[in-house]
Structures are given as structure tokens and as C-alpha cells.
Amino acid sequence: MAPPSPIIQASGLTKRFGKLTAVRELTLEVGAGQVFGFLGPNGAGKTTTIRMLTGLVRPTSGSALVAGYDVTLEPREVKRRVGYLAETPYLYPKLSGREFLSFMAGLYEVPAAVARQRASRLLNLFELADRADELVETYSHGMRQKLALAGAMLHEPPVLFLDEPTSGLDPRSARLVKDLLVALVERGHTVFLSTHVLEIAEQLCHRVGIIDRGQVVATGTLDELRQQAQRNAYSLEDIFLQLTGGSEERELAAFLRER
């Protein structure tokens, strides 16, 4: 079977903040209708990469196409076709949940009648319907996370960028999100998923990219990553630690042996 056509293509993507190079010469492709896991240690450049691919941050150099549009030359067109859930999403505290979704619909020019129908469906899906008319400032962290995800999905974008989507969710809600991602991909959507929960990546992702110190160190299916890692790397956690591990991991292992 032929691989799916790429819906995300990045070539030599680089972002510098003064003397700091947050992302260096990043090159990758993500096929349409896949869940692509984007993994890396804290500070590796995951969020900066996502912000470049969503048109929120202008690259210093390199290029990227998302849904056929150039993130540097056509950022507005990119934004129309992506949904983005930040790791710590900002929600307007003085809006109700329903009002927030109406606001998001206006940003993406979703017709009012369609927006109301979709909002009602999403509020029910995320078990927020009974609190939909209460202010966001009264919501728990998990409720806010679910509302933010509903907002990212409201315009039904072909590509979803999710930065730690299960952060702060209870096990039931986390399972709901995982099942939802599977359903979205079955309907032809593409999910670019950044997460520290390696079990989620292992269960859901068709392919994985690992970034360390701003550079992609490996991409592929789990089997392909096993081949790139050293021997005795069976789980995604083993592979991740081998490809990104440094002196800290070696020192910790030595300390534990001494105990």
C-alpha cells in the first residue's frame, strides 16, 4: 500500500531567539490521515516547532507547507485549516463555555447556525453541557482543557496540532480524548500530537518524530525507531531514552545500582 500523501512538510525549518537556536534545520513529513507523535525532553523545541507549523511564529529560515499552504507566505490560510491546542491554553475567564465556543466560531467564520449545532455536539461530547452557561473562571483545569480542545475542533480543521492534550485530565476524560483522536483520523483528519505520555504515543501514533536540543534525531514507525536505536530497545520509552539520554540518565542509573 502506498504511503499517504504528506499534509505537513517541513524542510530546514529553523527558529532563533537572539543567540538561542530553539529549532535547527528541522525536516519532516506527516502523512494525511495519521496521528504523528512529536516527542522530546523539556526545552527540546517541540512547542516552537508547533507554533511555526501553525503560522503563529515566523521561522528564521527554512520552509514548511501545511495543508498545501506556506507557513511563512500564507500564515492566515494555514490558520484557517488547522486547530491548535496549546499546552496551557488561554481561555477568557469572563465568558461562559458556550460564549467561548461562539467566539471561536466567529474567528473562523463558521456560520452561526452551524456553529450552534457543532458547539452543542462538542459540549455534550466533552460532558460540559450542564456547565455550558457558567463562566470559564469557575471551571476546573480539566474542564478548561476539554473546552479548549472543543474550540480547536469547532471549525473542523483537516489538521489538529495538540500540545499535551491530556494534561490535567482524569483517566475517563483522557480515554475520551484518545478515542476521539482515533475517530478523527478514521474520518480523514490528521493529528500532530506532542506528549510526554509515551504510552499514548505508543498506542495511537502511526509514526513518531523525536526532537532533542532543537534537532530531529529520529522519525519513523515504532519498528523503524527500534532499528535506529541500540539493542534492547523494545518500548517507546527505551527508544526515547536511548536517543535523547545524556549524562543525567547515566548518573541516575549508576546511583540506583549503588543503592
More confident residue, 180 or 229: 180
Crossing angle of the two packed helices 141-153 and 97-107, in degrees rounded to 10: 30
131-141: pLDDT as tens digits: 999 999 999 99
Return the pLDDT at 232. Answer: 61
Q: Is 181 in contact with 191 (CB distance < 8 Å)?
A: yes
Q: Is 216 in contact with 210 (CB distance < 8 Å)?
A: yes
Return the pLDDT at 231. Answer: 59
If DSSP codes are grouped into helix, strand and coil, which group holds residue 94?
A: coil
Q: Is 22 in contact with 48 (CB distance < 8 Å)?
A: yes
pLDDT above 70: residue 252: no
pLDDT above 60: residue 246: no
Q: Based on the number of CB atoms within 10 Å of its own CB, is 214 exposed (0-12), middle (13-18) or buried (19 or more)?
A: buried
pLDDT above 80: residue 259: no
183-195: pLDDT as tens digits: 999 999 999 999 8
What separation in angstroms does the CA of 11 have from each of 61, 64, 65, 100, 227? 9, 6, 9, 36, 24
Local confidence band at 250 (pLDDT 50, 70, 90 cut-offs) = very low
Q: Which CATH class is domain 6-258?
A: alpha beta
72-109: pLDDT as tens digits: 999 999 999 999 999 888 899 999 999 999 999 999 99
Crossing angle of the two packed helices 141-153 and 171-186, in degrees rounded to 10: 10
d(CA 102, CA 230): 50
